[in-house]
Structures are given as structure tokens and as C-alpha cells.
Amino acid sequence: MELKRFVERYVMTDPEWRRAYEEADATREAARALARARREAGLSQAALAKKVGTGQAVISRIENGTMSPTLDMVSRLARGLSLRPVIAFESAGPAHRARAARRSPRTAGRNRASSAARSVVKTP
């Protein structure tokens, strides 16, 4: 059974597991954003670790989601990648999605860069 089906069938149908899975979602998104930014910068985990004063294993654990970085570490990683961290809190409920769908063209572009999926973005 592939992972996506397993998650849908067993994890998302159990309220306790679903809650834990959703809470870990931000960690997974941040991990993917860091790995993507590091690759785009052309850096190895070891090279990034050296730039921010930590070990390669720490970068690996952050990228694979087994370690959640502190805000200080997020800032150091961003500086090491010549980026700036952006942290935003957004509603994830159905009411928020309905509002987003109804946004006027004038406000449609707002908060695009602050999406929770983009925990680190390039500076202008």
C-alpha cells in the first residue's frame, strides 16, 4: 500500500492520529522549504552547516523532519542561505478557504509570500 493511501485510510480516519498528523504538517513544510532552498543555493548539508555553525547531522534531522529548529536556528539558516525567514499564522479552516476563494482581485495577491508552505523566502 502506498503511503498516501495509508494516511488517508488509517491516519486521517482516527481523530487522535489525524490531529497529530496535522500538527506535524508545519514541520514537514518547513523541512521541505529548507531542503529546497539549500539545493537552490547549490549547497550541501555540510556546507550549510559550516556556514551556520552547526553539524551536518543537525541539518539532516531538520530536513527530514525529526528535529524542529528553534527560531534562532531558522534565522541562522536563512542568513546562511542569503534569505530571510517569514513566519505567518493563517486560518486553515473551511471558512478561511471560502474567504480566499471570494477575495477580490485587489486583495488576491496579499499574503501570497506569507503562505505557511513558504517558511523561508528570498529577500528582494
Query: Which class does domain 3-122 fall in?
Result: mainly alpha
Say whether pLDDT at 57 is over 90: yes
Say whether pLDDT at 122 is over 50: no
Contacting residues for 14 by C-beta, under 8 A, at least 6 apart: none
**Joined grid coordinates for residue 24:** 506535524
Instruction: Sketch the domain layout of the chain as residue ranges.
Output: 3-122
Most confident of 39-48, 80-89, 101-110: 39-48
Burial class (CB within 10 angstroms; exposed 0-12, middle 13-18, buried 19+) of 80:
buried
The predicted pLDDT at position 115 comes to 38
pTM of the model: 0.60
- Give mean pLDDT, residues 100-105: 48
The predicted pLDDT at position 109 comes to 45
